[in-house]
């Protein structure tokens, strides 16, 4: 991996200044860390702020950037003004990333930043990622992928650097909890965020709350699922979710991370 890291740092050193799309996830955090190490205050992270970003994720991302010592700019993005995004099509992520990257282009023009980058890695298949299309259209670079760094290697590099995101699970935006074709609204995202905070407060760490109107469909990692079957805990969660407007709580037949959950459909499920 040392050769790949060397290639990464060499590529970053080519730029007099850089804007990094930063979410606080594993990939973007390491990219910001590496770019800051090479460019110092000539590197700025850009966080896209919208209703799809949980407040806890924003706080954690800002705390991590402060720990790294990197400058970060939080900018509102306009994907919720785009009906192509709120209609929640299969390529919803394209419209989100396109909004972010267009915003970054504007910031670069105003600040004189030489290049834009984001955290795609070597495991990501560009043909399957809508964000890659937006990056290509907007001229956004992917230094981690170009260096050949895989997700596992990036996690290892985070551990070596002492970054607390090394073990962080994937954390896609809140809009991913709504089935494709069902419109995305700020109200629904707020309810999802509140529901997931309930589960976090109960000590769960690897899970999803899928939003189906008045139905909450829950997915848990295999190692966390037994706790959810504890009667008192289950009752607390059901009661708290009911207060948010979820009349029914169901449990996916598949654990968190199973490919069957990606369809985000109600079947097959079983009542808790």
Domain locations along the chain:
2-161, 185-271
Q: CATH number of the domain at 185-271, out of 3.30.300, 3.30.310, 3.30.70, 3.10.530?
A: 3.30.300
What is the pLDDT averaged over residues 155-174? 94
pLDDT interval class at 126 (50, 70, 90): confident
pTM (two decimals): 0.91
pLDDT interval class at 267 (50, 70, 90): very low
Phi, psi values for residue 165, rounded to 5°: -90, 0
pLDDT at 263 over 70: no
**What angle, 0 to 180 degrees and rounded to 10, lies between the N-to-C axes of helices 2-12 and 26-39?**
60
Residue 26: predicted pLDDT = 97
pLDDT at 220 over 60: yes
**Per-residue model confidence as pLDDT tens digits over 87-102:** 999 999 999 999 999 9
Residue 215: predicted pLDDT = 96
pLDDT at 2 over 50: yes
Phi, psi values for residue 247, rounded to 5°: -75, -25
Within 8 A by CB and 6+ apart from 26, the residues are 151, 154, 155, 158, 165, 166, 168
Please state which architecture CATH assigns to domain 2-161.
3-Layer(aba) Sandwich (3.40)
Degrees to nearest 5, angle at CA 133 with 128 and 139: 140
Q: Rounded to an integer, what distance in angstroms lies between the CA atom of residue 36 and that of residue 5?
A: 14
**Per-residue model confidence as pLDDT tens digits over 148-160:** 999 999 999 999 9
């Amino acid at each position: 991996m040392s050769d790949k890291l060397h290639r990464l740092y060499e590529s970053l050193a080519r730029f007099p200044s850089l804007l990094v799309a930063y979410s606080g996830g594993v990939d973007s955090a390491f990219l910001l860390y590496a770019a800051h190490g090479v460019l110092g205050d000539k590197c700025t992270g850009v966080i896209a702020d919208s209703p799809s970003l949980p407040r806890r994720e924003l706080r954690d991302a800002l705390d991590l950037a402060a720990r790294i010592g990197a400058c970060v700019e939080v900018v509102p993005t306009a994907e919720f003004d785009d009906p192509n995004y709120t209609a929640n099509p299969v390529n919803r992520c394209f419209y989100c990333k396109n909004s972010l990257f267009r915003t970054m282009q504007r910031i670069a023009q105003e600040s004189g930043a030489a290049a834009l980058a984001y955290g795609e890695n070597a495991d990501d298949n560009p043909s399957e990622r809508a964000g890659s299309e937006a990056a290509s259209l907007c001229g956004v670079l992917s230094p981690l992928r170009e260096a050949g760094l895989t997700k596992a290697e990036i996690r290892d590099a985070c551990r070596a650097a002492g970054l607390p995101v090394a073990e962080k699970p994937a954390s896609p935006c809140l809009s991913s909890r709504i089935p494709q074709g069902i419109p995305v609204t700020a109200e629904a995202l707020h309810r999802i965020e509140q529901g997931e905070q309930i589960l976090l407060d109960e000590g769960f760490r690897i899970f999803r709350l899928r939003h189906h109107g008045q139905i909450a469909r829950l997915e848990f990692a295999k190692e966390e699922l037994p706790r959810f079957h504890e009667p008192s805990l289950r009752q607390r969660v059901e009661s708290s979710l009911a207060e948010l407007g979820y009349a029914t709580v169901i449990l996916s037949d598949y654990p968190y991370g199973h490919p069957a959950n990606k369809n985000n459909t109600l079947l097959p499920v079983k009542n808790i």
